[in-house]
Amino acid sequence: MGRVFQVLGLSGLLVTSLLSTQSFATEDAEGDSSAHDTKADTHHNTEEPKAAEQPAPLIEPSATTMTAPAAAVAPPSAEVPPPAKPKFGDLSISGYFRGAFGASNEKGRMTCFALSNPAGLVSKWRLGNECEVWSETHFTMVTYAGDDGVTASVHVMPTVYIPTTHIGYSPAGAVNSPLQFTTSTGAVLYFPNLYVDIKGIPWLFGGTAWAGTRYYKRESIYISDFFYWNPSGVGAGIEDISLGQIVPALEGMRLSYGAFAVDGEPAAPTDTTSPQLPSQTDFGIRSDVQLRGIHPWQTGELQLGFQYIANYSNDPATSGGWGATLQFVQLVLGGDNKLAFQYGRGGGTGFGTLARFYYPDFSLRHDPSESRIRIVEVLTIQPIDWLGGQFAGMYQYDNNFLGNPGLKATWYSVGGRVAVAFARHAKLLGEAGYDHATRSTTEQYLAKVTGAIALTSNRGFLSRPELRLFYTWAVWNKAAATATVDSGRLYTDTYPNLLSGSIFGVQAETWY
């Protein structure tokens, strides 16, 4: 364990010598602790980019504020009533929804394009390229409100996912999925947020204690629905301890610690009726430490994260690992720029794609020799009220990929979306994205372009709801088609020799 603290200390030293930035539009509707929990599964949904914790703007003193006459009497200010104290039974609701339907240019159902990634990392340039219905409704209810300001809440978020795949549609939205190859895919019901928290305890210095399963401090590229830093899972911890309350010189810094359960990979079933469950003897604890709110200047914030997976299994084939994240966020052009660096080894090469079984991106079945380097750049802007956009780039390099000695894998992705509001409630949207993956001698690529017109609530890039009418065109190579290039397998199976295709349809998206 001493070595772990040495590694953490060395990473901290390394990290604090680098640049930094601050956060403004973390995609949420989730449960990243700095906002309400809602949305997101790398496979299916997203989060609302939240206007999170922007530092107060600099106000230069004017001549009047600097030299007010001594005799001047300030006008009486209107009294602002203090905010109402939480009370038992108070209920707040937030959430996310998206849904679409459409068709292919080759006739038949709409299908959606993405490269197949054997590591389970799912990313797609999502405008006009999401075939499912996805809904998250996050309920937060106060269950205790003490006279001393301590409050406790329970968080429940039913999440309904109705897939549209090669199997078909689900016209009834059934919760119990029918058998495969029948007339509909049915719907799936999840509870990714189901936890209790307590806040306001004085000796926690502003921190919030929690336990359960939850979305936790997630960071994503909204336009590609890729959660590059997502330590969500089943666990417990104390988040956002204000270090400034302990040491005034550390004002603004927030320390968080969470411990999460880790499984092995789901095993193959022993018979046709058995579910694919991980071995009961596979178990580990993932410790997640984050320090945020380091402001080298007012509009920039440095955020540090470290994860260590301790293996507690009796199978010699399992192992732990560690990983580190450094992110700098800078407010710019009415939005922000995020630059993240990530490095991991063994089980720490997973940084959090959502999935079953305690998020197996953190599985104990990674080989200790595996390593991953990832660099993410995300720029979100709103320079004027009618023009906004997001632009992103990502590079990832894996050594000894999936435990295969000497196998190298690279993945880079670049794209952007622009929104032009030609009227208060109408926008033109354009998005282009390109993904390229190389593993050994196999090389895949996929390029996609979408144009859309949208009815919307307001002019902003992130104003929702949006009702969109879209057209999407994509092109790929043969290796991508062979590995599965579309969710409905129209171009993978029915038209395997086609290396381009298009879809069109309507989509709704909102968060609240």
User: pLDDT tens digit string along 259-317?
Assistant: 999 887 766 655 555 556 777 888 999 999 999 999 999 999 999 999 999 999 988 88
Enumerate the domain spans of the chain. Answer: 2-53+90-269+277-511
Cα 243 to Cα 5, 23, 124: the distances in Å are: 20, 19, 38
Rounded Cα distance, 484 and 122, in Å? 13
pLDDT of residue 363: 82
Least confident of 70-74, 96-100, 216-220, 421-425: 70-74
Express each pLDDT in 241-260 by its tens digit.
999 999 999 999 999 999 99
Span 195-216, mean pLDDT? 96
Q: Which amino acid is at 342?
A: Q
pTM across the whole model: 0.81
Is the pLDDT reported for residue 425 higher than 90? yes
pLDDT of residue 362: 81
pLDDT of residue 25: 36
Q: Which residue has the higher pLDDT, 449 or 272?
A: 449
Contact 223, 431 (CB under 8 A): yes
Express each pLDDT in 388-412 by its tens digit.
999 999 999 999 887 788 889 999 9
- The per-type count for the chain, helices as H runs and strands as E runs, is 3, 22
pLDDT of residue 102: 93
> DSSP letter at 114?
-
pLDDT of residue 404: 81
Least confident of 50-54, 195-199, 366-370: 50-54
Contact 301, 329 (CB under 8 A): yes
Contact 195, 234 (CB under 8 A): no
Rounded Cα distance, 156 and 133, in Å? 20
CA angle 364, 368, 370 (to 5 degrees): 105
Is the pLDDT reported for residue 62 higher than 60? no
Express each pLDDT in 130-164 by its tens digit.
988 899 999 999 999 999 999 999 999 998 888 76
Architecture of domain 2-53+90-269+277-511: Beta Barrel (2.40)
Question: Taking all residues of the chain, what is their mean pLDDT, rounded to a whole number?
Answer: 82
> Three-class SS string for 170-219?
CCCCCCCCCCCCCCCCCCEEEEEEEEEEEECCHHHCCCEEEEEEECCCCE
Is the pLDDT reported for residue 41 higher than 50? no
Q: Could you give phi then psi for residue 499, rounded to 5 degrees?
A: -115, 20
Cα 258 to Cα 151, 212, 231, 263, 285: the distances in Å are: 20, 11, 9, 16, 10
Start-to-end Cα distance in the chain: 43
The DSSP line for 301-358 is EEEEEEEEEEE--S-TT---EEEEEEEEEEEETTEEEEEEEEEEEEGGG------TTT
Residues 6+ apart with CB under 8 A from 56: 298
Neighbour count for residue 316 (Cβ, 10 Å): 6
pLDDT of residue 189: 82
Residues 6+ apart with CB under 8 A from 321: 308, 309, 344, 345, 346, 347, 348, 349, 366, 368, 370
pLDDT of residue 177: 52
Smallest CA-to-CA distance from 24 within 48, 54, 56, 58 is with 54
Is the pLDDT reported for residue 50 higher than 70? no
Q: Which residue has the higher pLDDT, 269 or 205?
A: 205
pLDDT of residue 75: 54
Is the pLDDT reported for residue 384 higher than 50? yes
Residues 6+ apart with CB under 8 A from 220: 27, 40, 42, 46, 47, 226, 227, 228, 229, 230
Is the pLDDT reported for residue 176 higher than 60? no
Span 480-490, mean pLDDT? 90
pLDDT of residue 16: 39
Give the pLDDT band (50/70/90) at residue 52: very low
Residues 6+ apart with CB under 8 A from 28: 35, 36, 37, 38, 39, 47, 48, 49, 50, 52, 218, 511
SS3 472: strand
Pairing of β 254-262 and β 335-346: unpaired
The DSSP line for 20-62 is ----SEEEESB--TTS--B---TTT---EEEE--PPPPP-PPP
Q: Which residue has the higher pLDDT, 179 or 249?
A: 249
Two tokens at 450? Answer: 């979408």
Q: Could you give phi then psi for residue 3, rounded to 5 degrees?
A: -65, -35
Is the pLDDT reported for residue 436 higher than 80? yes
